[in-house]
Structures are given as C-alpha cells and as structure tokens.
Structure 1
C-alpha cells in the first residue's frame, strides 16, 4: 500500500504546486521561470527538455561529495554511485540503464568527459571538483543536431566557474557511514579537501587553479555466495582435502528466489581510494569579440582493496578457502574467492577552445580535447587474504596508453527569424589492454598472456536552423550525418593464435524536428521528433577478456543502435514557479546490451544486440518559490515509464519482458526552508521502483544483494552562513538507512559535514 501511495503523493504534490502558483499569480509580477533555471548556460534554441541545478541551489539543497551527486535528484535520472570515490558512477536515463554508458554524453565546459573504454568506465567526473561547479544540466533525448549519436539517451553539461575578479575558495568535507549487512557492522569514513584560486587581469588574461584531494573507503561491494537449485539443494563440494568445520555462514534468498549461502565480502570488496586532481585553466580575451581558453588537468588514484570472511573454525580463526561445513552443508571455496587487488592510475587531459562574440553576423566556436591514460595498473593476487599480503603469483591488467580525443567546430548566425548553425565533429577512442602473469602479484611486470586493443573513429557533419516563422511559433530543424569506423581490433593470446578483426565502417543520417508554440507568455507546448544512431564502442567490439573473477565475451560485428524518439512537452509558468509535463517514447532497434551472469563463477558478460526495445513514459516536474510559509519552497518530479522488449531473436524468452534496470517509477521531492540569509534547512525524498537485471525478468526478488532494488531514501542538509564567505553544513544522506542495491549495495546512513570559505 505504501508503494502505491508514493507515486500518488508525488502527483498530488505537483497539483498543489499548480494550485499555490495560481493563487499567487499576478499579471504585474508574471515572468518566465524554466524548471530549475536550467537553460542559462546552454544554446537558447535547444529543442530538448532541460533540467539542472546551479551551484547555489546545490549548496542549499544537497550534500555534494562528488560531482555526480549534483544529478541524483533530477527527473528520470539514475546515478550508479556505489560509494564516495567510486570511479564507476554510471548514468541511467529515461530509456536506458546504468550499464548502457554509451547512451549518456558528459561534457565539462564543452570538453568531452565520456569514457567508453570499458563496460564500467564511467564519465571522468574526477576532472571536476565540487567546489568549482557553477551549474549541472541535463538534456533529454536525441532532439538536437548539435550533439553526437551517443546523445540518444541523455546529454549532461557540467559548467565550471569563471573569474570576474580575484577570488578563491577552500572547502573541507567529511562523511561517516554506518553500514550493516549480513551481521558485518562497521563505520566507513571519507574525507575531501579542495582549493580554488582565480583572477581576471586588466590585460584580458584570466586563470583558475583547482586542486582536490580525496581519501575514501567503501562499504563492502560484493559477497562470495553459493546458490542452491530450485529444490534448495546446494551443489556438491568437489575436490580433495579435509573438511573444516566452520561457523558464520549466512543464508538468505537470492534475486531468483532460490536459497543462497553467503561467506563474506570478496573480490576486493572494500576499496580504500586516495585520489588527487589538479587543474589549471588559462583564458585570454582578444578585444571584445574573441575568447580563447586552454586547460590542463591531471588525476591520480591509488586504490587498495581488502576482503572480509564470515567463517571461523573451532578455534576462532578466520577461514578463507578450502572445503568447509557448518554441519548442514559442505562447500568448496576456491582460493580465488577472496583475492584482493590494488590499482594505480594516472590520467591527464588537455583542452583548448576559442570562440567569437560578434554582436551580429557570423560567429565561430572550436573545442578540442584529448584524454590520456598515462598509467593504469591493476594487480590481482593469486591467493586469498591474509596470505596475499606476503606476495605470491598473480595477474596484472595494464591499460597504459588508452585514451580518447574530441573535436567540435561550428559557425552560427543569429538573425531576426533564423538561428543557423553548421558544424563538424570528430572523436577517436583507442583501447590498449594487456593482461600479464606475475611472479609476485604486487609487481605488474610479467609475461603477457593476453592483449586486446582497437580503435573507433567518428566523423560527423551537422546543420540546424532555429526558425521563428510566426508570432509565438518556433521550429528547430536539424540534420546530422555520421561516419563511423572500427579498426586495429586485435586479441593476442600467448601462447596461441592472434585474432585480428577486420576493419568496419558504417554511416548514419539523423534528422531532427521540433515545433514549439508559445500560447501566451506563460504557456509553451512543444512536439519533438528525432532519429539518433549510437555505434558500438571499442570496448563492446574488442574487449573480450578473462581476468580474475570476470569473463567478458565481446562482439566485433555489433550493429549500431538506431533510436526513433518522440516527445510532447507542455510547460506552464507562474510568478512563483512552474509545472512541466512530458510524454515521451524511445523506440530503439538493435539495442546493444551487456548481460552479466552472476549465477556462475567466474562471472560471464556477453555483449549482444537486442532486436527492438520501446520505452513509453510520462514525466512531471514542478517548483514553487513560496509554499504558504515565508521562506518555504519546494521542487518535485516523478516519471512513469515502461520499457518493453518487442523483438529479440537472440533470446526469444525475453520478448514482452521489461527492459533491465529501467524502473517504472522514479521521483524526488525537495523542501527547502530558508527564512533569511543566515541559514537554511533542506530535505529530499528519492524513490525508484524495483527493476530487473535479467532480460527474461527471472530475478523477481529485487530487494536483496545481487538485485536491482527499490530506492527509498531521505536526505537532509542544514546550511549555516555566519559571515560573508563562510559556510558550515551538516547533513545526513539516507537518514532512514534504506538498504538498496544496484547489484552492489548502496551506502547506509551517512553523516556529512562541510566547511567552506570563499573570497
């Protein structure tokens, strides 16, 4: 009953927004308010629905520890951030899951941050410090010709601050998480410090220097389990050797409704990560019409993991492997179940942009960036804790030299009735990944046992016309032509034969059309239709590997995803707020899907095409600046959606099933009480419905470890401003200590504290 009432409560909240806004409406005070003031940093003629948050709104409303936190309360958004410092914080949207990373584009000041080099390689959020974020904005759907085919899901524009005078800020933040799972209780603490210094000189030169340091420890990310068959019988323990009587085995029910035995946190479950970022941005204004900018950023990560066994022998000693029995069942725990690993990473990014600002006529804009993995070495032990600390044979995965580049160049002309844009886009992704056998797992040097690599390139031309063809009427017509190529794909086995993949190329035309009508100063209706094409990534095509507890089966012959998207949106604006409703449909042919099978050990991931997936939904969003009480404001959004597999010749039992990891309902409601300038109190309740991870929807028991569960989380934040430039914040994330999972456990109740001084 409670789950039924939550969406109803959200809908009633939105209705109340409309009621209060109308009650306060006054023609003399009428002005345009776009939901969350999202459009300020984006092209004013974008045909997309947009939502976002400014830095001021974020500091008032949310406990932001990492940059991706800024997105978690926006409509139809899922951020797979498993813990603070997670390098795999993936994005999910209206019609795609958090394991379909290439359907989300992420930019920082126009520089590409989207990392498509691995299945779980998230956008490079590390290149941004929370302290420098000026605004975070989300564009929904592939309706603009200005963005590449990977925008068929969501495009995220992160804007950082630019100085107008000498300025700076210092920030220190900390978290304390109380976590309890399977009887293992502990506190996990995180710290972060950042500094920002900037100035704009009379010569036209400006600079900004940002440094950020983070020390974070995760809660356990995974557990070693053995699952019984449908009759509740566990597999027979194979192998020779004595059977050790143990205590501590925990039994529960898996996502498939079968009995499960849990032995402890495994596969490097607890991650201690130390990350440092340094970024220098230099800009120079040539007169009043030309702006140039150059950026260099460096990020480093040192990650050490550990495991935690629940098993104890009769003397109370920890047991990590071998045959064990609790008197009821006997199990064989492989030596690889509780192996730790370490990972050292050093990445760098370069960017340059130039643009003209002529008051009339044509203007130009160019943005280029290059991202390089300077060093990336993961060292995997060959034996379980605690013996692994003494060394011994193992494996290493090295990805030095991988990276991506991007170029966007355009010209535009804003006339009385037409805003024309023409441009070119190019990007390249290159993967180099070597697996090595090491005599001492703590050293990454050793004989190469496998190498995978390859490259993808995209070259695109696009044009768009924003046409005000009649009073109150606005059309955006666009066309994007893309040419894609995959080359140098290779799997080199030692010993064994090499697999060299043939060069491939594809082309796509993506037309765009949007028609908007301003019925009056406060009402806008917009109908948008578009085609978009998303090509296979270098990882999906070539990254077939067998390492540690994971096997990936790639497909070099993947077809590109082709999306046909529709949206009908209506927005009503009032003196004190606004309400928006969007009906949307996304019909995708040849959806690219990576299916992870956790029911086997090692885990196996298969990359494949799914014939046709269609998503239909309704999204509502609203805000009101004064809710009855002076200083009380509110925002709310709710999205209902149904993603259905309509065709799948590769696996017929999935036809008619729900698409994995896209919930039926997502919502967020935020209340803010700010009676003056000195302090404010905010609370946000987020809800996401249960989801499936399997395309046959067999994992119906969702609110358990290993499933994609509901999220029911309450966050709170108290912000104090005792003097100019000084801020103190205290908060709690997951105040209700909701246990939720995206296969991995989400954090438990987490205390947050922050001190900030800006000048």
Structure 2
C-alpha cells in the first residue's frame, strides 16, 4: 500500500528503543493495532557524532529454468550534534539492490487438444491447488535504487516547551527489464505467443506475459511536534505529520523488446494527489485529582488520507507522457477518508500489588469523493459513508513481587477500511486489482492473559490470546492462467486463539552464551462467510498454526561475537477455500531458514560477515519466492 508505514525513514543508528505491543489494548491506538503496535523511539544526539556504514551482499538464485546471482549494497552516512539547546541529526542512505525473480509466468488451464505448436524448455508441474500447470517464464531480476535523505532538529526553549521537526525525502527507481522466456521451438528459437504444446498438453501464451517495466517514485515526509508541561503536573505532546507522494509513475510495455511483435506500445500507471496527514494531541498526569494512586492520559486524533490512480495507453512505453497526443485515457479511481478520535485512560493502583487500567476510544470516520471512471469525460462519485465506533478497554495487573507480572486484558476495537481497499482499481497486464467501496469496518473483541517473569539475566513470558473479529477485511486472490485478480472482501466472522512462549537467557548453559527463543501456536478459523458459505470452518489464509524462532549468541571475546539463528513456520493456506494443499509456486510453504553472523569490534569500527538461509532452502509465499542463500559483509565506523 502507498499508505503503509515507511520503515526506512527511521535509521537503525538513530533508534533508541523499540517496544512491541500485541493487540489493541491501549486507547491511544486505533483499531489498526489489532495486529500489534511497533513503537520506535528515536534518540537525540548528546554531542558531536559521525557514522559511516557500508554493506554488501550477494545471493545465488534458481527459479525453474533460469538462474543467476543478485548483488546489492547499502551506504549510510550520518552526522549529529547538540549545541546548547539545539540538537540535530541528518543522514543519507543509498540502497542499490537486485532481487531474484519473484513471479513465475504460469498457465494452469491446460488442455489435451493437441492443437498447439510443439515446444521445449518449459516446466510441467502440479501447482498447490493440484492443477496441472506449465511454467514458461519469470519476471527476471528486479533492479532498484533508493536514495533517502532525512534531517531532524530539536530545540528546548524551556521545560514547558520543546520543539522538534523532521523532513525526509525518498527517491526510488525500479526496473524489471530481464524477463525470462523458457519457451523454445524445434529450432531452439523463442516463441512469444500462441497456442503451444508440451508433451501433449496445450497451453496459451500472450505477448504481454513477457512485458518489461520500470517505476519512478518520490516521497516526502514532514513532521512537526511540541512537548512540555502545563501546571499542576500535566504533560502534553502534539505532533503534526504529512506524507505526500510527489511522483509515482509506473510504466510497462505491451510486449517484450526481444519479441518480433514489439512496437514500443504500453501502459502508464500514475498515482497523483495521494498521501496522508495526521494530527495527534496527547496529555497525561501521574497524580490525577491529586491522588497518588490515580493516573490519567487522553488525547485527540485526526487523520486524512487521499488516493488517486490513473492509467493510460501509450504508443511509447518508455518516453511518452500522459498528456502527450499519443497517450489515451484508460481508467482512473480514487477517494478520501478521514477519522476523528478522542481517547482517555484512567489508571488506579487500588492495592499495593494491583492496578487496573480503564479506558475507551470514540471515533468518527467517513469516506468521500470516491470515484471510478472508465472514460476521460466520465463524472460522478460514489456514495459518501459515515461510521462511528466506541472501543472500551480494560486491563488488570497483579505484581506479587518485583520479578513477576500477571496481566489480563479485554478490548474492543474497530479498524476502518483504507483508501487502497476502498478505491484503488488497477487493470494491469497480469495483475488486476478491484476495489470494494462498500467494505464494512472490522470490529474485534480481544482478550489476552500474560504471565511474565523478569530478572536482569533472564526473562520468560507466556501469552494466551483470543480474538473474534466480525467483517474481517481480507485480500482475496484468484490466480487463473497467468492472470492474478485481487479484491477485498468482508469475512463475517473470524475466531482466533493461540499461545506464545518467549524466553531470553544470558550466560545460558555456559558463560558468555546468550539465547533468545519464542514459539507460538495460532488457530485462526473462518466461522461465518455469507458470500461464500462453504468456507465456514476453514483456516484463515496466510496464518500458519506454528511459528518458532531462536537466536544463539556467543561472546568469543569482549570484541568478537558469533551468532546462529533459525526461523521456522509450518505450511499455511493462501486461499479462503483452503484448496492450495500442496507446496510450491503459489502456495504458502513450510520453511526453516538458518542464519549465521559474526561481528568484530575494534575501537570505533565494527566489521561483520553473515550468511542468510545457510542451507539454501527454497520456499514460496504465494507467487513469490523467498531469497536463497545470501552472503553479506558489513563495515561501520562511528565516532561519538
């Protein structure tokens, strides 16, 4: 989504802490917190500092009938300082990378008519839906360059008023020009279209299956915030931020440049007048109503999001502009949403070892100016919509001693649809996206029990959770032949329960050995789906029942560390019909990835070497492949 979090605007070097909260149990977070909240706090420089980092990596890949290697590198430079009451931090990051092919061109609607031209080079297999399929190409390596610049400043006028600001600019270029065609005729020549035959099985190929593409995108993120103290112990924090897609133009050809039919025609997809704005005001007081056992926090939230996407046919896919005479309108769609929210939370320590948190969030949401036009002269809008929601929260905490923490939480939450889910319609050559302007908001009831034991050298945590969500917004995909069609639907009721165990140990078994481990079980079941009743009782797609991770770190010396880590999850379904029962291209595969890394530190320099996916395991998530074995080297110099 164009409105998704922009993680790369926060550098690892400026991160002070990361706090992960599971579930929508805090009133200060909207219903988007159903899946959890990642709260990243960035630090302020306390003096002059410089950082320079460069990282390089390469992976060998193999996808059906093609293979190659995918190199990449990242360069990071940062400088910060604190001069009197002013502190600033600037960084520049360049990411230049190449990926393995992530999509395979497949026909899974074969026939045995025997009318096609005999070919070789393709791959005949049974897909996860147990359909006889032929893979005859892939999208090749994707090359991308991302240049990111960010500057932030803080000025302390007084304890009552602190001002902060941030600006970030991201420039991206992506191209996919090396599309692979596996098909060969009897003379070894490539074929680009027609009805073809492999081992008695006919399949259909079109010129557009091998099209090439590129994209240029520029994003601007601006933020301004103030914080400080009122009288009587009240503290406040206010932030205003805006994210604007300054340019997003994706181009694709109708045919492959190597094909005799190539005539430079193609399509242009442009996002314009898209982005979001947000305002957040929060205030809190520890001794509420002058009672040391009471605390209060509350605030106001506003967000506005807008989306507009248009597509054009063009006679020159690379050089034409949308307002040229040789470009013609194809379709456009878009719309806007906004949300007003008020939240409050009262904390009460009603006994020495007990406290309770009671709060709620009231929200008013609307969608407006929605449209879908199939001609340049078409006008008209979709119906405006308004929704309101109240989400109560309660949490009971018992701390029998300094090390043990027991917590029981209940919450209701409402997640309103995003503009991409409501308005974005894209008619691509192999990928069609159909918006759903009538989507209902998700409404969830959530419960969790957490038991935690914390000591300086160890921590253990057990979480048990239960969710029941009505009108779950689900991205439903259908892959037929070589065309993927995606749309958003409401699933009437989804019920989820599970348990997670997390453990961290320092000096585990032997001195200087640290280990982190977690394992989780999740049972997510579709309980009711009126538009497709036969799916009731099925598993919710893309949610594996079992996941586990571990990280074992050994401090060889004070300067030298060695780490081994592993990630495992079992097979999941990718479709609400649960008919993708096999693994492979188009499935949600089971995998186990092993990673190795060693780091050496000398004064202000860190050097590390790593291997991801050590055993070179192949796995798919839908039509995409995970990276194969990847080698990386990292050098970092830092002066503070």
TM-score, length of structure 2 as denominator length? 0.95
| SS of alignment partner, residue 520 of structure 1 | coil
Match of 1:456 among 337, 349, 359: 337
- Tell me: higher relative CO, structure 1 or 2? Use CA pairs within 8 A at least 6 residues apart: 1
Greater mean deviation of Cα atoms: 366-375 or 494-503:
494-503
Match of 1:434 among 310, 325, 349: 310
Match of 2:168 among 289, 297, 302: 297
Match of 1:234 among 111, 127, 140: 111
Match of 2:132 among 237, 256, 259: 259
**Residues 432-488 of structure 1: per-residue CA shift (max 9 Å, x gap):** 111111111113422222111100000000001122121011111111000001000
Pair 1:253–1:389, CA change in 2 (3 A)? same
* Paired residue total: 628
| CA drift at 1:327 | 4.7
| CA drift at 1:519 | 1.4
**Residues 190-216 of structure 1: per-residue CA shift (max 9 Å, x gap):** 1110101000002x0111111000111
| CA drift at 1:331 | 2.6
Q: Which residue of 2 aligns with 1:478?
A: 359
Establish whether residue 417 from structure 1 lines up as the match of residue 297 from structure 2: no
Match of 1:287 among 155, 158, 175: 158
**Residues 59-99 of structure 1: per-residue CA shift (max 9 Å, x gap):** xxxxxxxxxxxxxxxxxxxxxxxxxxxxxxxxxxxxxxxxx
Greater mean deviation of Cα atoms: 316-325 or 666-675:
316-325
Task: Output the CA distance in 2 between the equivalents of 1:482 and 1:572.
Answer: 36
Q: Which residue of 2 aligns with 1:42?
A: none
Aligned pairs (5 A) from 1:496-535: 497-498=378-379, 500-535=381-416
Establish whether residue 748 from structure 1 lines up as the match of residue 621 from structure 2: no
| CA drift at 1:162 | 1.9
Task: Output the CA distance in 1 between the equivalents of 2:33 and 2:580.
Answer: 30
**Residues 204-233 of structure 1: per-residue CA shift (max 9 Å, x gap):** 0111111000111110011111115xxxx5
Task: Output the CA distance in 1 between the equivalents of 2:467 and 2:5.
Answer: 23
TM-score, length of structure 1 as denominator length? 0.80
Pair 1:191–1:453, CA change in 2 (3 A)? same
State the superposition RMSD in angstroms. Answer: 1.9
| CA drift at 1:655 | 0.1
| CA drift at 1:506 | 0.3
Q: Which residue of 2 aligns with 1:191?
A: 73
**Residues 274-322 of structure 1: per-residue CA shift (max 9 Å, x gap):** 1100001111011344321110000011111031111223343333333
Match of 1:636 among 479, 493, 517: 517
**Residues 129-149 of structure 1: per-residue CA shift (max 9 Å, x gap):** 344333333211010001112
| SS of alignment partner, residue 147 of structure 1 | coil
Q: Which residue of 2 aligns with 1:399?
A: 271
Task: Output the CA distance in 2 between the equivalents of 1:122 and 1:157.
Answer: 15
Match of 2:64 among 182, 185, 189: 182
| Kept after mapping to 1: 8 A contact 2:107/2:204 | no
**Residues 635-692 of structure 1: per-residue CA shift (max 9 Å, x gap):** 1001101000111101011100000001101110110001432110111111111110
Task: Output the CA distance in 2 between the equivalents of 1:496 and 1:280.
Answer: 43
| Kept after mapping to 1: 8 A contact 2:114/2:201 | no
| CA drift at 1:357 | 5.0
Task: Output the CA distance in 1 between the equivalents of 2:334 and 2:363.
Answer: 23
Q: Identify unmatched segments of 5+ residues in structure 2.
A: none
Match of 2:21 among 139, 147, 159: 139
| SS of alignment partner, residue 536 of structure 1 | coil
| CA drift at 1:592 | 0.9
| SS of alignment partner, residue 540 of structure 1 | helix
| CA drift at 1:167 | 0.3
Pair 1:461–1:237, CA change in 2 (3 A)? farther
| CA drift at 1:180 | 1.6
| SS of alignment partner, residue 598 of structure 1 | strand
Aligned pairs (5 A) from 1:215-614: 215-228=96-109, 234=111, 244-266=117-139, 269-306=140-177, 307-356=179-228, 361-387=233-259, 392-415=264-287, 416-442=292-318, 443-445=320-322, 446-494=327-375, 497-498=378-379, 500-614=381-495
Task: Output the CA distance in 1 between the equivalents of 2:356 and 2:297.
Answer: 14
Task: Output the CA distance in 2 between the equivalents of 1:348 and 1:469.
Answer: 47
Task: Output the CA distance in 2 between the equivalents of 1:336 and 1:498.
Answer: 31
Task: Output the CA distance in 1 between the equivalents of 2:282 and 2:260.
Answer: 54
| CA drift at 1:390 | 6.8
Q: Which protein is richer in strand relative to its size?
A: 2
| Kept after mapping to 2: 8 A contact 1:244/1:324 | yes
Task: Output the CA distance in 2 between the equivalents of 1:180 and 1:135.
Answer: 38
Pair 1:715–1:673, CA change in 2 (3 A)? same
Task: Output the CA distance in 2 between the equivalents of 1:677 and 1:273.
Answer: 38
